[in-house]
Structure 1
Amino acid sequence: MADRIPAVLRQKNFRNFWTAQTVSYMGDQVTSIVLPLIAVMALDASAADMGMLVTLQQLPLLLFSLHAGAWVDRRGRRRATMIAANLASAAAVATVPLAYFTDALTLLHLYVVSFVIGTLAVVFSVAVPGLFASLVPREQYLSATSLSRASYSFSFVAGPSVGGVIVQILSAPFALLLDVFSFLVAAVMLRTVSVEETKKEETESQRGIREALRFLGRSAVLRAKILSGTALNFFYTVYSTLLILFAARDLGLSAGLVGAVISVGAVGALIGSAITGKVSARLGLGPTYLIGCLIFPAALVLTPLAHGPQWIVVTMLVIGEFASALGLMLFDISGATLQQAITPDRLRSRMQGAQMAISYGVRPVGALVAGGMGTLIGVRPTLWFAVVGGLLSVLFLFWSPLRRVHDLPDEAE
């Protein structure tokens, strides 16, 4: 049994880092569904309100990712930065149940909290690659990258489902109190990590950002990865912004049932993370990425198709969430492995910031589009737009150099 455990997980420092990373990401994603559920159930939020809520949570990706990456590279002290981000997130989330129990909660309050925790999540995320490089020996790089990235991808799928189930059991305000606890646990775990961090980058902010963007522009593989990721993020945000509203109001599912349906995605994510290495070894990193990019949006076609008796609706949603999450893991882990391998150490935080600003920066746009289209043409037609758009947007990968990448590429100059 011990032989099946990746060697990197036998190292206490990496194990604690990975645990803290996983718990923190789960906290972010649980918040991402509990806040909208509170908005719908306690404040009777509309489609436009939901669009604004998600937009404000995702807007920091567009506004701050590049500058946060350059700031972290200049500052160093990535572990301390991640600890501070977790503590501040706990404090921000704690204000929501406090306001709820004192009858002072408003949509404006949720908007502010969404923006704050979105900003702190950006700071945390751009610090991860540099600390990762300080903890992991080169020979264990691939397995550690898969574990580290799988934490984010798994939380992206499992976090909302866990949040829905917790809301059903405890109610939304108490679910947020549990979320506060998760951020505190992550901060404590990071405190136990002993690491000599890589030297900070002595460079002016704007010049550092330009250097990262020039590096991205010179790499055809990274360009293809980020362009496809940007398209998928946009269309998936349109889809996910309206999913809860569609399931609860159009399909008549309870919060607990919505959470249970989406939780099946966590199973697909687990299987996807387990098989990505084997699929990549057989087919190559590039083809694995391409296959995942196609499965991820294609499976979601079952959501706008869903109608009829509740058991049929639930079955269709379950199959769609499972297959989509599996595809997400295939392309996200293989793509992150390529980026980590190609990017030089001194550019890691800036490249993470550039990738987040471009690929994730379209999320607030997607949320606004979802709110507008959901109001104008209806929720179900907007979901069709998201699913078909996601499929069509990645077809260019068939002609990109990324699909021909088989083995792990060398680090670029």
Structure 2
Amino acid sequence: MPTEHQRKPGRIQTLNVVAPPRLTDRIPAVLRQRDFRNFWTAQTVSYMGDQVTSIVLPLIAVMTLDASAADMGLLVTLQQLPLLLFSLHAGAWVDRRGRRRSTMIAANLASAATVATVPLAHFTGSLTLLHLYAVSFVTGTLAVVFSVAVPGLFASLVPREQYLSATSLSRASYSFSFVAGPSVGGAVVQILSAPFALVLDVFSFLVATVLLRAIPDREATGEGTADQEPKPAEAAEDAGKPRDGIREALRFLVATAVLRAKFVSGTALNFFYTVYSTLLILFAARDLGLSAGLVGAVVSVGAVGALIGSAVTTRFSRRLGLGPTYLVGCLVFPAALVMTPLAHGPQWLVVAMLVAGEFVSAFGLMLFDISGATLQQAITPDRLRSRMQGAQMAISYGVRPVGALVAGALGTLLGVRPTLWIAVVGGFVSVLFLFRSPLRRVRDLPDEAEWPRPGAVGTVPTKE
């Protein structure tokens, strides 16, 4: 009789060996899709180039053209003005035209040509402030056109169940550009001089264009998007006047309670944060006595917080739900900034308080930014996506110039520290209404809203 240690005839003994996870298994599923990978890489390259330009253009104005404070203010204003002037109309035009990929490529090529005129003018000795003003306004306008086309192309490349992870990757790229972009721009200025540093941005536009061209143009071939086929009736309706298309997008926004809550809270936070950020550097340098290097380090740490936040938002959303994650982010983002008006004492303590506040605030920013963008992407019908993106840029971002003016007025009348208190408390209080909004009940990715719908009340499926 064989013992238990002896091999029994006719039976093959096997060992269950668990293979270690491969490195590729840790890559997000959405990045294994070549088309989205090209899209995401193009975004990342463009963001880096934009951040380099945001540092280099003001340096050119100051170092080469001896710009005054008023000149600098006008330069920044002209770059932001297209958000107010063109966002809604650009969104309506892109939705009506379709072909988002080709629109983004055209905007990139036009931006490259525009930026390239600066080093060329410098080389020929014809560079002026008026030239920089024109470049700022034109590139700002082209950035609006590019941005409103992004959601439609995104939807054609990403399955709905991967919206959250794909949005997290996109926002991580944006955050990384804020960390690395200014440093790269500063280094290139030291090596090449400020005007020629813009060659980097021209190169980034061209690289992004090549990557976008590698993506199949599904809209051009009539394949629609990953979410839905375009309907003839909808196409005919969208062929009307641009003003009608804008009205339709605004009606959809007003009728959809979740998006309405997102837009109101986002607009309020943008306003109060602009009041805060307008005075931050002045407060840190003059009132707290920090050097330019320390101020830059504080801002960079905030960007690192945003990068980490973008990496963990998906995990938060799966545990808490999309709506609650958005709500938590809206509260953490302004609340953490209380460390700035509270800052006092020895320099090491002041720096520690500012760093903590900026880091946690940026972390909260990513929680509400990524979850909010995912909700908007999921709820909005494909034919309205560019218009809704334009509406967000015009409404939520359009309050920034107003916030800057209010910051200057209150800082002059009340002082810088009291104005920072108003900004922090105002931002926190302005989003408390979300506790009573349907947005807090949205757990899973909502269905795309039906539109038009008679007597719509703007609800979306929720999971208690």
* TM-score normalised over the length of structure 2: 0.79
Match for residue 182 of structure 2 among 163, 169, 176 = 163
* Partner Cα separation in structure 1 for residue 160 and residue 420 of structure 2: 43
Q: Displacement of 1:229 after TM fit?
A: 0.4
Q: Displacement of 1:85 after TM fit?
A: 1.6
Q: Displacement of 1:109 after TM fit?
A: 4.3
Q: Give the aligned partner of residue 182 of structure 1.
A: 204
Larger Rg: 2
Q: Give the aligned partner of residue 365 of structure 2.
A: 328
Q: Give the aligned partner of residue 49 of structure 2.
A: 27
Match for residue 205 of structure 1 among 225, 229, 242 = 242
Q: Displacement of 1:164 after TM fit?
A: 4.9
Distance 1:277 1:67, change over 3 A: same
Deviation per CA, 1:273-324: give whole Å up to 9, x if none.
1211111111111111111111112222333444555433432332222111
Distance 1:117 1:7, change over 3 A: same
| Percent identical residues | 81
Q: Displacement of 1:230 after TM fit?
A: 0.5
Structure 1 residue 122 and structure 2 residue 144: aligned? yes
The one-letter code matched in structure 1 to 2:322 is L
Q: Give the aligned partner of residue 287 of structure 1.
A: 324
Deviation per CA, 1:78-129: give whole Å up to 9, x if none.
1121122222223333444556677766554444333222211111110001
Q: Considering fraction of residues, name the structure with more helix.
A: 1
Deviation per CA, 1:211-244: give whole Å up to 9, x if none.
1111111111100000000011112223333444
Q: Displacement of 1:353 after TM fit?
A: 1.1
The one of the two structures with greater contact order (alpha-carbon pairs below 8 A, sep at least 6) is: 1
Distance 1:261 1:162, change over 3 A: farther
The one-letter code matched in structure 1 to 2:445 is L
Q: Give the aligned partner of residue 433 of structure 2.
A: 396
Query: Secondary structure of the equivalent of 1:360?
Result: coil
Distance 1:68 1:333, change over 3 A: same
* Partner Cα separation in structure 1 for residue 291 and residue 336 of structure 2: 23
The one-letter code matched in structure 2 to 1:347 is L
Q: Displacement of 1:140 after TM fit?
A: 3.1
Distance 1:324 1:190, change over 3 A: same
Deviation per CA, 1:2-54: give whole Å up to 9, x if none.
222121111111101111112223333443344445556664643x6554443
* Partner Cα separation in structure 2 for residue 99 and residue 381 of structure 1: 45
Distance 1:12 1:161, change over 3 A: closer
* Partner Cα separation in structure 2 for residue 127 and residue 251 of structure 1: 43
Match for residue 40 of structure 2 among 18, 25, 33 = 18
Q: Is the 8 A contact 1:51 1:367 kept in 2?
A: no
Q: Is the 8 A contact 2:43 2:208 kept in 1?
A: yes
Q: Give the aligned partner of residue 448 of structure 2.
A: 411
Structure 1 unaligned regions, length at least 5: none
Distance 1:369 1:34, change over 3 A: farther
Q: Displacement of 1:173 after TM fit?
A: 4.3
Q: Give the aligned partner of residue 105 of structure 2.
A: 83
Match for residue 365 of structure 1 among 402, 409, 432 = 402
Correspondence 1:13-412 to 2 at 5 A: 13-36=35-58, 43=66, 45-46=68-69, 50-96=72-118, 107-152=129-174, 154=175, 158-159=177-178, 162-164=181-183, 166-167=185-186, 170-171=189-190, 172-173=194-195, 175-197=197-219, 198=224, 201-248=238-285, 251=288, 253=290, 255-374=292-411, 378-412=415-449
Q: Give the aligned partner of residue 7 of structure 1.
A: 29
Query: Secondary structure of the equivalent of 2:396?
Result: helix
Q: Is the 8 A contact 1:78 1:128 kept in 2?
A: yes
Q: Is the 8 A contact 1:209 1:350 kept in 2?
A: yes
Q: Is the 8 A contact 2:55 2:186 kept in 1?
A: no
* Partner Cα separation in structure 1 for residue 129 and residue 275 of structure 2: 21
Deviation per CA, 1:323-375: give whole Å up to 9, x if none.
11111110001111111111111111111111211111112222333344455
Q: How many aligned residue pairs are there?
A: 409
Taking only aligned residues, the RMSD between alpha carbons, in angstroms, comes to 2.9
Q: Is the 8 A contact 1:72 1:78 kept in 2?
A: yes
Is 397-406 or 109-118 further displaced after alignment? 109-118
* Partner Cα separation in structure 2 for residue 246 and residue 173 of structure 1: 30
Structure 2 unaligned regions, length at least 5: 1-22, 225-229, 451-464
* TM-score normalised over the length of structure 1: 0.88
Distance 1:318 1:257, change over 3 A: same
Q: Is the 8 A contact 2:309 2:367 kept in 1?
A: yes
* Partner Cα separation in structure 1 for residue 37 and residue 244 of structure 2: 35
